Amino acid sequence: MKKLFLVLLLTFCLSALILFFSESLFAEPQDLSTFLENLAGERGTISLSLQDCIFFALKNNLDVAATRLVPQIKETEIIKAKSDFDPVATLDISTDKSETQTTSAALAGTLASVQKNYDFNAGLKQKFLTGGDYDLSFKNNRLETNRPLAFQSPNPAYTSSVIFTLTQPLLRDFGIGVNRADILIANNNKNISLEELRKEVIDTIAETEKAYWELVFVLENSKVKELSLKRAKDLLEINKVRMKAGTVSQIEVLAAEAEVASRQQEVLIAQKTLSDAQDNLKVVTNLIQDPKLWNFDIIPLDKPHLEAKEINLVESVRTAFQKRPDYQQAKIDLKNRDIKIKVAKNERLPILDLKGSFGLNGLDRHYNDAFDEMSKGDYESWSAGLSFEYPLGNRGARSKYKKKLLEKEKALIDFKNLEQKIIAQVREAVRGTNTDYKRVAAAETVRRLRERRLSAEEERFKEGLTTTHDILEYQEDLAEAQSSYLRSIVDYNKSLISLEKVKGTVLERENIHLEDANYRE
């Protein structure tokens, strides 16, 4: 029995260890839903700061994820453009046989001429940045025939040759700038895609911040509505007591009851608006990877800022021209158009190519001897010349060049239009930020005065010097002032992020660094 017990105990321990290590080593990493559920606990709420929301938005946003791949795609296009100048190795092995009737059997020594060729050729060629190219060829041939030695000697015959050929355009396709055009354009396109990524990230952050601050407003505003409802209920209870004492009429009670019902509707509407704002933030941050999270309430941890910022209009416009992704994209696009114009202008020129070649040859009955003969350099060949070609009228190249000029002209108009829009947007954002900051002070004054007025009116109500209608009206005025004060603070924070967005400085403000940030030449 003891042995059996020990065996069972050992088996149980081993099973527990295996289960532990298998779960710890092979368990899938904790996903976002699990993390948020653990963060929320059992209350069904998620407490998130603004930075948390920005982190989740950038981590989970599908548009950002898709845009992040574009620079990598453009990088492959740069490599492809550079590959045009890679050396290319060639190898050609072939054999052929031909049988032909002879016109003079007596001279040829046979009624049919039979020839067999065996070719083995290798080479290396490459294009230069100047537009020229070279071709280095190593050719080998074995010729075997049935013709007498008097007509074919040696038989079989081995020939070996090495030939170096150089071609250099002198007009069309000449120059480093023209031949590097595809590389420069591909590199600029990558830079454009990186600016597009910056724009996507900026838009995502701005949208997230605005959704976050809107949730803060709606949440606080719902509290204002609930407090307003409580004031109406308290007044209703006071009127009921007074009606029993005979100091007020039933009309006063009915007025309070009607206002309670009205403010209950406002609370319900505020609760719906709160749920909508929470769902909007969940969508913006893409937290909804698990349907269960739809039921979680987001509790914002951050409060809106209320600090005055010195905003210089001229400096803001200058910063926008330096930082705006769309402005940088337009500038890079103009560079591409200049490159295309240069290429199109070059294509109008005639083709005038300088060609030259030099080779060494060898011939013998044996291959080794033929190769040695070639190596000695006793038998050489060379050629040199010019090749000219020009289409009469050249209408295709001329029309292409004109098209590129017109496209550049249109792009310049669009560029100027963009500059004007940027100036107008910055001016509007600066004006809106300054106005919203002043609104806060004005709204705070109104709120404070209405609080004092309601307090004074409530003292008069206790003494019977005012009516229920007046108290309810003052309560409503105070609730409206409180909501306006909250709205002005949130609008000011929204204006700040809108200003940073039109200036293109959202990433610097949030201290976010994109990959490949130093991509400019």
* 223 and 296 within one domain: yes
Which residue, 154, 138, 33, is CA-closest to 90? 138
**Of the candidates 214, 256, 219, 220, the residue with the CA atom closest to the CA atom of residue 476:** 256
Domain assignment present for residue 86? The answer is no
Q: Based on the domain organization, do 383 and 444 belong to the same domain?
A: no
Strand partners, 88: 125
Show the DSSP H helices in 355-511 as ranges: 367-376, 395-462, 468-503, 506-510
Is residue 329, in this structure, part of any structural domain at all? Answer: yes
Same domain, 304 and 258: yes
Whether residue 18 lies inside any domain: the answer is no
What is the domain-level CATH number for residue 380? 2.20.200
Q: How many CB atoms lie within 10 A of CB 436?
A: 20
Residue 406 lies in a domain: yes
Same domain as 456, residue 315: yes
Number of separate domains in the chain: 2
Domain assignment present for residue 70? The answer is no
Residues 329/443, Cβ–Cβ less than 8 Å = no
For 301-370, strand residue ranges (E) read 351-364
Phi/psi region, residue 140 (left: phi>0; alpha: psi -120 to 50; beta: rest), is beta
Instruction: Say which amino acid occupies 483.
Output: S
Report the C-alpha gap between 169 and 158 in whole angstroms.
36
DSSP H or E segment with residue 52: helix 50-60
* 421 shares a domain with 455: yes
One domain, residues 215 and 275 = yes
| pLDDT score for 4 | 36
**Does 148 lie in the same domain as 200?**
no
CB 137 within 8 A of CB 121: yes
| Site of tokens 């007020």 | 248
Q: Could you tell me if 446 and 481 are in contact, meaning their C-beta atoms sit under 8 angstroms apart?
A: yes
From the list 391, 65, 384, 41, the residue with the least C-alpha distance to 201 is 65
Judge if 225 and 331 occupy the same domain: yes
Domain co-membership, 244 together with 296: yes
Place of tokens 């030939």: 163
156 and 190 housed in the same domain? no
Per-residue confidence (pLDDT) for residue 521, from 0 to 100: 37
- Are 155 and 147 in contact by the 8 Å Cβ rule? The answer is yes
In a domain, 117, yes or no: no
Give residue for tokens 């698990």. 290
Return the pLDDT at 17.
36
pLDDT at 339: 96
Which residues face 298 on adjacent strands?
A: 46
Amino acid, res. 397: A
Instruction: Give pLDDT, residue 110.
Output: 60
**pLDDT reported for residue 364:** 86
Ramachandran region, residue 288 (left: φ > 0; alpha: ψ -120 to 50; beta: rest): beta
297 in Cβ contact with 227 (< 8 Å):
no
pLDDT score for 115: 87
User: How many angstroms separate the CA atoms of 328 and 70, rounded?
Assistant: 17
Give me the domain span that covers residue 326: 182-338+402-510
Q: What's the sign of the alpha-carbon dihedral 476, 477, 480, 485?
A: negative
Q: How far is CA 160 from CA 93, 124, 219, 383, in A?
A: 14, 16, 89, 18
Provide the pLDDT for residue 103. 62
Please give the pLDDT value at position 194.
Answer: 94
Tell me how far CA of residue 157 lies from CA of 123, 214, 345, in angstroms: 22, 91, 52
At 332, which CATH number? 1.20.1600.10
Residues 222 and 312 in one domain: yes
Residue 273: count other Cβ atoms within 10 Å of its Cβ: 17
What pLDDT shows up at residue 202? 95
Could you tell me the mean pLDDT of each successive run of 10 residues in the chain, 521 residues long? 41 40 35 53 76 89 88 94 94 89 57 84 94 94 74 77 95 93 96 95 94 94 91 88 84 89 93 92 79 78 86 94 96 97 95 94 87 87 93 92 96 97 96 93 94 89 82 89 94 95 92 58 37
Separation between Cα atoms, residue 82 and residue 37, nearest integer Å: 50
Q: Evaluate whether residue 101 is within a structural domain.
A: no
Pick the closest to residue 243 from 259, 258, 254 (CA basis).
254
**Nearest residue to 151 via CA among 200, 197, 116, 105:** 105
Q: Are residues 147 and 255 in the same domain?
A: no
Domain membership of residue 16 (yes or no) is no
